[in-house]
Structure 1
Amino acid sequence: MSETDPERAYHYGVMRRAMEIIDAADASLSLEDLASQLGMSPAHFQRVFSAWVGVSPKRYQQYLRLGHAKSLLRERFTTLDTALAVGLTGSGRLHDLFLRWEAMSPGDYARHGAGLEIFWGWFDSPFGLTLAMGTERGLCGLAFAAETGAETAMADMRARWPKAQFTEAPMRLRGWVEAAFAQKGETQLYLIGAPLQIKVWEALLRIPSGHVTTYSELALAVGAPKAVRAVGTAVGRNPISWLIPCHRALRKSGALGGYHWGLPVKRAMLAYEAAQCGEAGP
């Protein structure tokens, strides 16, 4: 089913269980304690952690605690420029990954994918089983099925473009997907959404990795300061999760807010990026 490193889904499963254990603990847990509760040897657990994010379990615990979102707002909050350009072409960077993107015209979007061929395939990723979709022009969808299940993820993505022709062809997408999760190389994106949605997704691309912003800041950035609810809906409808980083949008209170593919995935993404950013330094 998957086209990338098969260990990644297993690693995400370990992280998912580790998050629950760490959140339930009153204090930091030792490597031995965590490994024991996960039914693993300390050496194996350490290896899985290092393979997933490159830091020790002890160091990583601070990035998994529920209060981490609030600390991100205090220390790595990004104020987006209210004069943000809202053209429908642009680029963004994710570590060493260069994104080139273009958007479907509003008229084409209104046709719900009629006349469009969308290729799809399943892949393993650092955040569990992932459904990728794309056209000749680039990736148009990334869905994470670890929390929702594969059938739900597939149905969700197909419903976004109900009149499109869907063709299973993972090899057509493999290069873009591998670049996306290796965070190296170039990935092309083809954004399929309504005009407001695309403006919001463009604003999300301006948030640096390891940083966060708020839904109200996003509303200011797209020139709709009173439309926070509509902006939040557009964030939630982002079809290319991870690359268009909707996981970096939080509530002003420091609460995570929602996440279409499950809050554990959002927390894992934030922790993954924060840990890498912290290890790399400012």
Structure 2
Amino acid sequence: MTAEIYTLDAAARDFDRVSAALAFLGDHWQEHPDLDAAARAAGLSPHHFQRVFTRWVGVSPKKYVGALAHGAARAALDEGACVLDASFEAGLSGPGRLHDLFIAHEAVTPGDARRRGAGLDFVWGAAPTPFGEAVFLIAPRGLSALAFADPYPEGGFADLQARYPAADYRRDDDIARQWAERVFAATPGEPIPLALYGTPWQRQVWRALLSIPAGATTTYKTIADAVGSAKASRAVGAAVGANPISWLIPCHRVLASNGLLTGYHWGVDRKRAMLAYEAARG
């Protein structure tokens, strides 16, 4: 029997319902909700929900709740361990990364900054991803930005275009889909080149983000320590917030010092879903 292929289009369609279920389970796991309750949160029948959740997350709803419970127990015993870290260590994750990434560093001089992207040529387009519709911005040397389009691709593009308002842009959704297939491939292939345009400080923080393994989390203070500025957590937060390439440069793995998910440019529900997705596939 041929295994069902779970396409990016299907994963994108399922995202909103799975995200709602993850939020519900995250809030109510201590009550050990049954399948019916979780399915109602997703707006699906229990049978359909079980299938959708398992193929998107990679584990069943019951196993996901069990991992959260084990994580909480471990966190209570391990001083300093946040709930999310402990749940990953309880068997929901592994040490591997989804991709080995290469960065094509392209320094931006003060003159480049003043030109606001003049002379840069980008291709942009929209494509489905496991986390909903996304907008990809591609430079000649690699991927320059990945944003989520809520609810329309033009909105996501406007967010990216504001970074380089004087650049030239050409839309090609077919090229964007090719990048989406490459970024979210079930089996990692060739390293993905990233063409990053940012200040030296921002790129230093982004490199630190790339060092966080899939299935792990860290804090803004830890990132500040890693870049040699222990008292610069606020500045680190600003650089993390300016990260142009969602998912691949994993700012979603950075938590508040108390272990809470806190804010995320593309929504806390999406951040929760990204962490669950990585953890189940570690």
Shorter-chain TM band: 0.7 to 0.9
SS in 1 for 2:104: strand
Provide the aligned C-alpha RMSD in A.
2.6
1:250 corresponding residue in structure 2: 255
Decide which of 71, 75, 78 is 2:83's aligned counterpart.
71
SS in 2 for 1:160: coil
Q: Deviations over 1:34-79 (max 9, x none)?
A: 22453423221122112212210111235679x79932345769xx
1:98 corresponding residue in structure 2: 100
Aligned ranges 1:143-182 → 2 under 5 Å: 143-146=147-150, 150-182=153-185
SS in 1 for 2:122: strand
Amino acid at match of 2:214: S
Aligned ranges 1:1-282 → 2 under 5 Å: 5-23=8-26, 25=28, 27-61=31-65, 70-74=82-86, 94-95=97-98, 97-107=99-109, 109-110=112-113, 111-146=115-150, 150-182=153-185, 184-186=188-190, 187-277=192-282
Determine the C-alpha separation between the residues in 2 that align with 1:208 and 1:61: 23
> 1:58–1:74: structure 2 CA closer, same or farther, 3 Å change rule?
closer
> 1:37–1:224: structure 2 CA closer, same or farther, 3 Å change rule?
closer
Determine the C-alpha separation between the residues in 2 that align with 1:257 and 1:52: 23
More helix per residue: 1 or 2? Answer: 2
TM-score, normalised to structure 1, is 0.82
1:82 corresponding residue in structure 2: none
Determine the C-alpha separation between the residues in 1 that align with 2:53 and 2:264: 24
SS in 1 for 2:198: coil
Q: Deviations over 1:154-205 (max 9, x none)?
A: 2211101111111102333433321211251122111111110000000100
1:98 is displaced (CA, Å) by 2.9
> 1:216–1:112: structure 2 CA closer, same or farther, 3 Å change rule?
same
More strand per residue: 1 or 2? Answer: 1
CA contact (8 A) 1:143 1:241 kept: yes
1:24 is displaced (CA, Å) by 5.2
Determine the C-alpha separation between the residues in 2 that align with 1:188 and 1:62: 37
Aligned length: 257
CA contact (8 A) 1:109 1:192 kept: no
SS in 1 for 2:214: coil
Amino acid at match of 1:103: H
CA contact (8 A) 1:219 1:225 kept: yes
1:33 is displaced (CA, Å) by 2.9
Q: Deviations over 1:231-264 (max 9, x none)?
A: 1100011000100000011111112232111111
Determine the C-alpha separation between the residues in 2 that align with 1:159 and 1:180: 24
- Give 5+ residue unaligned stretches, structure 2: 1-6, 76-80, 90-95
Determine the C-alpha separation between the residues in 1 that align with 2:88 and 2:41: 32
> 1:180–1:53: structure 2 CA closer, same or farther, 3 Å change rule?
same
CA contact (8 A) 2:126 2:177 kept: no
CA contact (8 A) 2:12 2:132 kept: yes
CA contact (8 A) 2:122 2:138 kept: yes
> 1:75–1:27: structure 2 CA closer, same or farther, 3 Å change rule?
closer
1:225 is displaced (CA, Å) by 1.6
SS in 2 for 1:269: helix
2:3 corresponding residue in structure 1: none
> 1:139–1:62: structure 2 CA closer, same or farther, 3 Å change rule?
farther
